[in-house]
Amino acid sequence: MASKILCERQIMTMTDSSTSNQPLTASESPNNNPIRSTQHLENYLNSLNDELSHEAEYQTSEEKIVLNVGGVKYETYPSTFIRYPDTFLGLMFHPRNKSLLRPKNGNEYFFDRNGHAFHYILEFYRTGKIPWHRWNSFARKRTFSETTQKELQEELDYFQIKVDDNRVEMAEIAAAAVLNDFICALEDLILKGISQMVGEIRMKFFKNGDPPIINLSSILEDYSLLTEFSQNGYYIIAIFWKKIDLHLPSLFPSIISVGTNDTGIGVINLTINGYLNEESIIKHSSFLK
């Protein structure tokens, strides 16, 4: 299924993006990219390891605490909370208030609150985000949370946590994943065209959600790959094709003609050709040189 596709180029992109968020000075890299050479990569990893080691040493020197929230116990460090000093727990476990604390059993603190909802509270302190939604609208099945929105909001108010509504961002992240899946499927089709020596791929996507039509359907091993985009393929092409068109030559340099045509009646015709590289193919032939 399209949602499960993870092509090699996506993995490479994920690897690059996971490191590109680290700030670098102009002297470190003229293009502000930490992965410009093996030495840059080694320096970056060493720096990251130093930071993690320092944090681990700091936490090792800390005494773990146990939060008993409505009978559900959570174990963590005080430093997890003091990063947010304007919140209830951030203020409570701030070093200047240590003398005011009255733990039980040496390091346990009891809160007569919702123990299941506190899972999301602790995730906020750990990650800065609350991974909650009433149901997963991006999954194929609705997966209900044990905690309702009202219950979660009551706990956020009690622990004095203010968070931004990130539902739009979550939806956009899901949309980007669908777009990536579509591009991977398109690349797979072109690769299939190359392997079968089919010089042109013609597709039709329908606004009304009908399954797309493709001239390679007779040789596709998994035609369901395309039907995954019955509902959104039309809009993906209509909105993002110019960007996709610029992307494809990075993998298929010999592409010389890629075109789309909206018929005006809710049908987009997509034609891709020019990807058969004569010289490259002959290079692998044992008969033609």
C-alpha–C-alpha distance, residues 182 and 180, integer Å: 5
Spatial CA neighbour of 182 closest among 129, 127, 135, 243? 243
pTM of the model: 0.55
Both tokens assigned to 70: 């409505």
C-alpha–C-alpha distance, residues 179 and 232, integer Å: 10
Specify the pLDDT at position 28.
Answer: 41
Q: Residues near 35 by Cβ (< 8 Å), separated by ≥ 6?
A: 16, 19, 20, 41, 44
Give the Cβ contact number of residue 220 at 10 Å.
Answer: 15
Specify the pLDDT at position 248.
Answer: 94
From first to last of the 289 residues of the chain, give the pLDDT tens digit: 444 445 655 544 444 444 444 433 333 433 444 444 566 667 767 776 666 655 555 455 689 999 999 999 999 999 999 999 999 999 999 999 999 999 999 899 999 999 999 999 999 999 988 877 554 444 434 344 578 888 999 999 999 998 777 778 878 888 999 999 999 999 988 998 899 898 898 899 999 999 998 887 666 665 566 778 999 999 999 999 999 999 999 999 989 877 788 878 899 999 999 999 999 999 999 998 7
Specify the pLDDT at position 260.
Answer: 82
Spatial CA neighbour of 74 closest among 117, 28, 26? 117
Specify the pLDDT at position 55.
Answer: 54
Write down the H helix ranges in the chain: 8-20, 38-61, 78-82, 88-92, 118-127, 149-158, 167-195, 224-227, 233-247, 278-283
Which of 147-169 are b and which e, b meaning 16 or more Cβ less than 10 Å from the residue's Cβ?
Answer: beeeebeebbeebebeeeeeeee
Q: Could you tell me the CA-to-CA distances from 118 to 82, 170, 190 in Å, in that order?
A: 17, 21, 49
Specify the pLDDT at position 81.
Answer: 96
C-alpha–C-alpha distance, residues 234 and 243, integer Å: 15
Specify the pLDDT at position 30.
Answer: 39
Specify the pLDDT at position 263.
Answer: 78
Specify the pLDDT at position 254.
Answer: 87
